[in-house]
Amino acid sequence: APVPYPDPLEPKREVCELNPNCDELADHIGFQEA
């Protein structure tokens, strides 16, 4: 879901979604907005 404010992590999040290891790490540290 889009965040209601400019998100400087958005490009990194998109890259992470293509990388299972990064995506899993992001889940743990709260990058994912689900």
**14 annotated ligand binder:** yes
**23 annotated ligand binder:** yes
User: Cα(3)–Cα(21) distance, rounded to whole angstroms?
Assistant: 23
Q: Taking the alpha carbons of 5, 22, 27, 15 in that order, is the dihedral positive or negative?
A: positive
User: Cα(28)–Cα(4) distance, rounded to whole angstroms?
Assistant: 22
**Binding annotation:** 10, 14, 17, 23
**Binding annotation for Ca(2+):** 10, 14, 17, 23
